[in-house]
Amino acid sequence: MTMKPPKWGNSHTEEKNLVKGLPSHLRGAKVVDKAIKELFQLEFLTRLKKTGEWHVSLNPRKKEEIYQFLRLPPRM
């Protein structure tokens, strides 16, 4: 699940775009749906209704935790 460039806070994308960066054999897989639900539960992803569609973004309040989860050096 990649969003390039990353969508933090007010920068968002339609929810259906979350899986576009995945290999085709994973799109629609139950494991992917479960992972997305877990990201919402961890509050790493936020959801809001825009233009009649659900949009998502990375939670800027969880930025440090997200980078730790991904084992990446923190970026501010």
Q: What is the 3-state secondary structure (H, E, C) of 36-75?
A: HHHHHHCCCEEEEEECCEEEEEECHHHHHHHHHHCCCCCC
Instruction: State the pLDDT at residue 1.
Output: 47
Give the tokens for residue 40: 């919402």
Contacts of 24 (CB under 8 A, 6+ apart): none
pLDDT string in tens for the chain (76-residue length): 444 557 777 778 888 888 888 899 998 899 999 999 999 999 999 998 888 889 999 999 999 999 899 888 877 5
β pairing state of 45-50 and 13-14: unpaired
| Whole-structure pTM value | 0.78
5 φψ region: left (φ > 0), alpha (ψ -120 to 50), beta (else): beta
Instruction: State the pLDDT at residue 57.
Output: 92
